[in-house]
Structure 1
Amino acid sequence: MTEEFRAAFQRVLDTAASQAPGFPEAVHDVFRLSSQVPREELAIALEALTPVLGDCEPHAGVAADLSVLAGALVESGAPAGQVGLEVLRQLGSYGQAAVAFIHAWEKTGGGPLPAPNDAGEAEEQRVEQVLGDNAPLATVGWWTSLRYGLAAKAMLGDSGVRAAVRADPGALHELGQIVQALSTRLNEFGEVGELLRMSEADRLIVLDRASRRGFRVAFDGVSDNFQLHTLLADALIGKEGHRLPGTRPDPRWVAASLDGPVDPMADVVRGEWDLVGGDGTWVGNEACPGDVPVVDGERVLVLEPQSLLHSWRAGRRHPHITGSLTVLEELRPDQATAWWARTHPAGTVRHPQAPPLENDDTGAHGRPPRHFGEAAHFAEVDSGPMSAPFAALDPDADAPGGGLSSSFEDVTINPGAAPVFPDTPASLFDPPARPPKEDEDDEDELDDFTVPAAWSGALSPGPGLDDPLGSPLDEPEWREPRSLSDPGPFEDPAPGSPAADPPPSDDRPPGARLLPPMPPGVSDSSTWAPHWKWPMGPPGR
């Protein structure tokens, strides 16, 4: 089979150089045999193809077909090498001509563009009104654009090609502009744009606000900050990492961000930090590592405490590309101190959707919103497709722009939603009644209100733990024990007893008479309002 592949590939080289009629048949034979030979054989073939591809560039159809063939061999496991860079160089030339064709088409009446393979003499004559002698090249550029786009996707999946592109920022920027323009008309270029963005960055200075430590990290195959966030948490948190405080990510989330499939039983990742640039700009998870701002020649990312809980779907935008992240070194204390001196003060940058901080009478800031357990957390996650493409070079607040949607959404947990269990009576969530004390003033009602034991676990970190803001939570006030003759909160009252009589009707919601007055600024509703203040203010406020 190897000898048959070699013979077919030699026919491709011979017929391409001479533009002989047997070229299409030879290309077809190489496609058919490429999956049946070792990777080493494919690498030798690609190396031989590089000079031929360069020589055939003036013959647009042949060059485009050779580019597609080279991309197929790369997808079969061969390293792209120099042929990958040659494909991208030709994409730049013919892609620029294709963009000129699009502009001329718009200036001569607009309307639907012809499919690239359908562009011909009539289309060339139309754009000639604007382009003149450049019309033939522009039409050929549009005619080959789709094939070059398919080839470029394969080449940018190779880490060596991405590294070479990253080493030439000027060429990367120019190619990015061409790809962005083509992506508005050809969906295939949306993914090419993503891969170019993946090529923009592979190093970061990472500063952790909680520990005041800093690290230098290297990564590859990371297409967005959802994936970067997951890999940073795995590399830095806990004794398995570099002992940063926090909760280590589920190993299945990490595997899906590296080279594994998404586990359907662990497909929702919980965020650990807010991602903020070293210059004080919000970065977030929806952006790309290339969006992390440069400060004094280094891309600097600050890991801030979460101002809003968020989660997203596990996995990689490009499952065929392996992700990686390595901590190269921890910064020396003096180096970390120097970087902290250049960054924004703590607490000055928050999630754009986080509620504004409010001061209570004691001057303390309100507590960040919290969700109620795993059920509420998972219920907020969008169930849309994971692999929807997003656009090339202009990320917006949720996903890179250009009119295409993102497959991962930074999901905000709704702190106003009470836990919902369909088969559970609403009375189970009502607090037990407390007999009123004699001679008790209405103004003391809040002071004497006792947090039910069933709620204490949801509203406090637990016995012996401090509130995340640094102040210990108040212990629940002692309440009078229930008489043995009184029914419990889940027992039926005895017939004829006062408890069995229906309560007097009023216009308040059920259970409202059992609760204290709402704190100032909180709407009177059956669920907590977005700006609930916790902990409550002093009694009688």
Structure 2
Amino acid sequence: MTEEFRAAFQRVLDTAASQAPEFSSAVHDVFRLSSQVSKDELATALEALAPVLGECESVAGVAADLAVLAGALVESGAPAGQVGLEVLRQLGSYGQAAVAFMHAWDKTGGGALPAPAAVTEAEEKRVEEVLGDNAPLATVGWWTSQRYGLAAKAMLGDPGVRTAVRGDASALEGLGQIVRALSTQLSEFVEVHELLRMAETSRALVLDRASWRGFRVRFDGMGDNFQLHTLLADALIGKEGHRVPGTRPDPRWTAACLNAPADPLADVVRGEWDLVGGDGTWLGNEAVPADIPVIDGERVLVLEPQTLAHSWRAGRRHPHIPGSLEVLEELHPDEAAAWWSRMHPAGSVRHPLAPPIEHDDTGSQLAPRHFGVAAHFAEVDSGPLSAPFESPAPGDEDGPKETRESWEHEEAWATEDPGGIGDPGGIGEALGTEEIWEPQGLREPGEPLPFREPRGPGNASGSAAFGGFGEPGGEAGGVPVPEPLAPEPWGAVSEPAAPEPVGPEPLAPEPWGPVPDQPEPHPWAAEPPPPAPKPVTADEERPPGAHLLPPMPPDVSESCRWAPSWRWPVPPGPRD
């Protein structure tokens, strides 16, 4: 199989360089065989692909198909290496052309943009009114944009590529502006934009208000501050960490933020702090580490006591990217005191949804109001020993009978406290001070997390990082950047379902209509035969990584069309 893969890959390199009609079939052969060879073999193939990809950049369709092929090999386990940086460089060039196409389309009447693979000569003529001689390149940039988006997602999943991108701040800024503009029209670039933000930073100075200590930490693969919050708690709190006061997170929460799937029995994480920037700005968990403000050359994050109890679902925003965090050093007390002298006063920054602090007529702060048991929420022991169930009697490991029944008939317990720690009995809900971020509609246990709302930089004009491009006689920086597409809004988790009566569940109606009335079976009727096994679908047979990087885009690589047919006629010869 290795020899067959090598022969197919060599055909890709040869036909790409000569633009031969057999290029498409050779690419499909490499796709088919890539899941059956070792990662070392894939890495060798990628090394050979990098120079060919650079040489073919001017042949837009060939370069875009090679970029998608390289992305598929990276998703199969090969390190991206130099070819990953080449894909991002070409994305900068063709992506800037695609943004110019979008801008010209808007200035010539607007309306829905054509699908990238379906762009025609008519669309090129339309944008020519604005772009003049640049219209052909802009149209080809839009035509290849979707494929470069697929490839870039795969490349930015590689930690080596993210590290290299982080080392060139100007190129990262320019590429970020291009990707952000494309994300307003193409969903592939929403995730590319998030991964570029992930690549922006890997270090932070963390100050803990409760202990007045400071730490420098290094991290990678942080999709948002939910993940960073959990891993900071694991690294700092208790004797297992650095003896910072607080409640250590459930190990299953930590594992889900590193490289494990979320455990459905412990998928609600309890927050430990309010996350505030060193300049006194509210950050919270919905932000990303790149939003942590820079003070004197360092990103400074302050861990403040919670002003509003908050929870979220365990897991990683980008499940295919593992997370990591380590404490590099603890600040000397003198250095920590110097940093604290520049920070905002304690209690001056609160959660935006926290209830206001009440004062009496003299201006003194009033104590919190008490409402029964909920009044002592901040004082109760939130550990497992405070659970409202009896301890099992000797010999009855499953607990008393009435306790077992309450577990069987009250599914709400799994939602309120699946890990057995945190807020027993839903006291936070009684106070109305707990927020659990979840997409509209509950997901089934074990399903991957959907994306939360991305946070991008403010509107900015185009960058000169990849060269000027715009209207005839115009300058490069004048293309406005629209807002990115926002995913579905997040909301609070629905109330737990009420206990259901014991008994068999009713039959669920079929999607096409209600189930007709069934005749009453005779007592002696035979048991119905077991259902036939579910057939294996085509999606279940896809190679690894196919759910993240699908095969070659339709209507592009199924033939030898390396550019829109109205510009370069298809050469003679057999087609696939």
Q: 1:66 to 1:377 in 2, by over 3 A?
A: farther
Q: 2:8 maps to what in 1?
A: 8
Aligned-partner Cα distance in 2 for 1:8–1:297: 50
Aligned-partner Cα distance in 1 for 2:458–2:272: 22
* Alpha-carbon displacement from aligned partner over 1:48-104 (angstroms, at most 9, x marks no partner): 111100000000000000000000000000000010000000000000000010111
Q: How many pairs were matched up? A: 414
Q: 1:322 to 1:175 in 2, by over 3 A?
A: same
Q: 2:283 maps to what in 1?
A: 283
Q: 1:73 maps to what in 2?
A: 73
SS in 1 for 2:153: helix
Q: 1:365 to 1:49 in 2, by over 3 A?
A: farther
Alignment TM-score, normalising by the size of structure 1: 0.73
Q: 2:130 maps to what in 1?
A: 130
The one of 397, 402, 424 aligned to 1:373? 424
SS in 2 for 1:265: coil
SS in 2 for 1:266: coil
Q: 1:36 maps to what in 2?
A: 36
AA matched with 1:373: P
Q: 1:358 maps to what in 2?
A: 358
1:388 aligns with 2:451: yes
AA matched with 2:175: L
Return 5+ residue gaps in structure 2 as ranges: 370-374, 379-422, 444-448, 460-482, 501-576
* Contact residue 183 and residue 485 of structure 2 kept, 8 A: no
* Alpha-carbon displacement from aligned partner over 1:490-540 (angstroms, at most 9, x marks no partner): xxxxxxxxxxxxxxxxxxxxxxxxxxxxxxxxxxxxxxxxxxxxxxxxxxx
SS in 1 for 2:230: helix
Q: 2:150 maps to what in 1?
A: 150
Aligned-partner Cα distance in 1 for 2:327–2:237: 12
AA matched with 1:195: L
Q: 1:183 maps to what in 2?
A: 183
SS in 2 for 1:327: strand
SS in 1 for 2:112: coil
Q: 2:542 maps to what in 1?
A: none
Q: 2:26 maps to what in 1?
A: 26
Aligned-partner Cα distance in 2 for 1:375–1:357: 23
Q: 1:267 maps to what in 2?
A: 267
1:331 aligns with 2:394: no
Once the 2 structures are TM-superposed, how far is the Cα of residue 361 of structure 1 from its aligned partner? 6.6
* Contact residue 98 and residue 142 of structure 2 kept, 8 A: yes
* Alpha-carbon displacement from aligned partner over 1:412-469 (angstroms, at most 9, x marks no partner): 99xxx9x99879xxxxxxxxxxxxxxxxxxxxxxxxxxxxxxxxxxxxxxxxxxxxxx
Once the 2 structures are TM-superposed, how far is the Cα of residue 108 of structure 1 from its aligned partner? 1.2
* Alpha-carbon displacement from aligned partner over 1:320-342 (angstroms, at most 9, x marks no partner): 00000000111111111111111
1:402 aligns with 2:484: yes
Q: 1:244 maps to what in 2?
A: 244
Q: 2:162 maps to what in 1?
A: 162
Question: Over aligned residues, Cα RMSD in angstroms?
Answer: 2.5
Aligned-partner Cα distance in 1 for 2:67–2:485: 28
AA matched with 1:315: G
Aligned-partner Cα distance in 2 for 1:98–1:37: 36
Q: 1:375 to 1:218 in 2, by over 3 A?
A: same
Alignment TM-score, normalising by the size of structure 2: 0.69
Q: Which has the higher contact order (CA 8 A, sep 6+)?
A: 2
**1:491-506 equivalent positions in 2, closer than 5 A:** none
SS in 2 for 1:47: helix
* Alpha-carbon displacement from aligned partner over 1:247-269 (angstroms, at most 9, x marks no partner): 00011111110100011111111
* Contact residue 310 and residue 412 of structure 1 kept, 8 A: no
Aligned-partner Cα distance in 2 for 1:364–1:281: 23
Q: 1:408 to 1:203 in 2, by over 3 A?
A: farther
Aligned-partner Cα distance in 1 for 2:224–2:107: 37
* Contact residue 179 and residue 392 of structure 1 kept, 8 A: no
AA matched with 1:290: A
Deviating runs (4+, > 4 A) in structure 1? 368-372, 376-380, 406-409, 419-423
Once the 2 structures are TM-superposed, how far is the Cα of residue 359 of structure 1 from its aligned partner? 2.1
Aligned-partner Cα distance in 2 for 1:284–1:26: 49
Once the 2 structures are TM-superposed, how far is the Cα of residue 395 of structure 1 from its aligned partner? 8.5
Once the 2 structures are TM-superposed, how far is the Cα of residue 202 of structure 1 from its aligned partner? 0.3
Return 5+ residue gaps in structure 1 as ranges: 424-541
Q: 1:35 to 1:3 in 2, by over 3 A?
A: same
* Contact residue 309 and residue 412 of structure 1 kept, 8 A: no
Q: 2:233 maps to what in 1?
A: 233
Q: 2:343 maps to what in 1?
A: 343
More deviation, 348-357/82-91: 348-357
Once the 2 structures are TM-superposed, how far is the Cα of residue 120 of structure 1 from its aligned partner? 2.0
Once the 2 structures are TM-superposed, how far is the Cα of residue 377 of structure 1 from its aligned partner? 4.7
SS in 2 for 1:326: strand
Aligned-partner Cα distance in 2 for 1:135–1:3: 44
Aligned-partner Cα distance in 1 for 2:32–2:221: 29
AA matched with 1:135: A
**1:40-51 equivalent positions in 2, closer than 5 A:** 40-51=40-51
SS in 1 for 2:341: helix
Once the 2 structures are TM-superposed, how far is the Cα of residue 402 of structure 1 from its aligned partner? 2.9
More deviation, 350-359/34-43: 350-359
* Contact residue 206 and residue 300 of structure 2 kept, 8 A: yes
Aligned-partner Cα distance in 2 for 1:361–1:279: 32
AA matched with 1:37: V
Q: 1:92 to 1:420 in 2, by over 3 A?
A: closer
SS in 2 for 1:101: helix
More deviation, 383-392/303-312: 383-392
Aligned-partner Cα distance in 1 for 2:130–2:148: 25
- Larger radius of gyration between Structure 1 and Structure 2: 1
**1:378-527 equivalent positions in 2, closer than 5 A:** 381-384=436-439, 386-388=449-451, 390-391=453-454, 393-394=456-457, 402-405=484-487
* Contact residue 392 and residue 402 of structure 1 kept, 8 A: no
* Contact residue 287 and residue 395 of structure 1 kept, 8 A: no
AA matched with 1:367: P
